[in-house]
């Protein structure tokens, strides 16, 4: 199946700093990427839909100024958590959907810990 990578896999940052997470589709062009957040023992919550070359669409309750998404190419989307706080500590997962595929391929996730 298609491969999606995320970097970094783990990051620890201090409160008030910003963190950038990269999501790459390695062997296909992803017109659409999705960003999810998952708290311990909970399911995936969709944060935003990222479309190449256009602004991301955020789900209700997700602050677009806090979670900046950039989808500059067909293989890369980035999520920047700005002014991170301990409550932003979570598992962030991206997925990619190519135009030829009916399913989404998930990245391995990024564990963010804000101290």
- For another protein, the binding residue among 7, 49, 62, 76 (CB under 8 A) is 49
Residue 111 contacts another protein per CB under 8 A: yes
Within 8 A by CB and 6+ apart from 36, the residues are 44, 45, 46, 47, 92, 93, 94, 95
Residue 62 contacts another protein per CB under 8 A: no
Handedness of CA 85, 60, 30, 5 (dihedral sign): positive
Residue 35 contacts another protein per CB under 8 A: no
Please tell me the count of residues contacting another protein according to CB under 8 A: 24
**Residue 26, token pair as written in the block:** 């390695």
Residue 54 contacts another protein per CB under 8 A: no
Applying CB under 8 A, the span of 11-19, 21-29, 42-50, 72-80 interacting with another protein comes to: 42-50
In sequence order, the β-bridge partners of residue 57 are 49
Q: Check residue 26 and report its DSSP letter.
A: S
- For another protein, the binding residue among 14, 43, 54, 86 (CB under 8 A) is 43
């Amino acid at each position: 199946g298609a491969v999606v990578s995320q970097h970094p896999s783990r990051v620890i940052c201090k409160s008030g700093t910003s963190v950038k997470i990269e999501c790459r589709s390695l062997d296909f062009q992803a017109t659409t990427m999705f960003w999810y957040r998952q708290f311990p023992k909970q399911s995936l919550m969709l944060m935003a839909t990222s479309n190449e070359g256009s602004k991301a669409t955020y789900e209700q309750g997700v602050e677009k100024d806090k979670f900046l998404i950039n989808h500059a190419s067909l293989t890369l989307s980035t999520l920047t958590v700005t002014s991170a706080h301990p409550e932003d500590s979570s598992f962030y997962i991206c997925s990619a959907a190519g135009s030829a595929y009916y399913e989404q391929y998930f990245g391995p996730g990024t564990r963010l810990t804000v101290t």
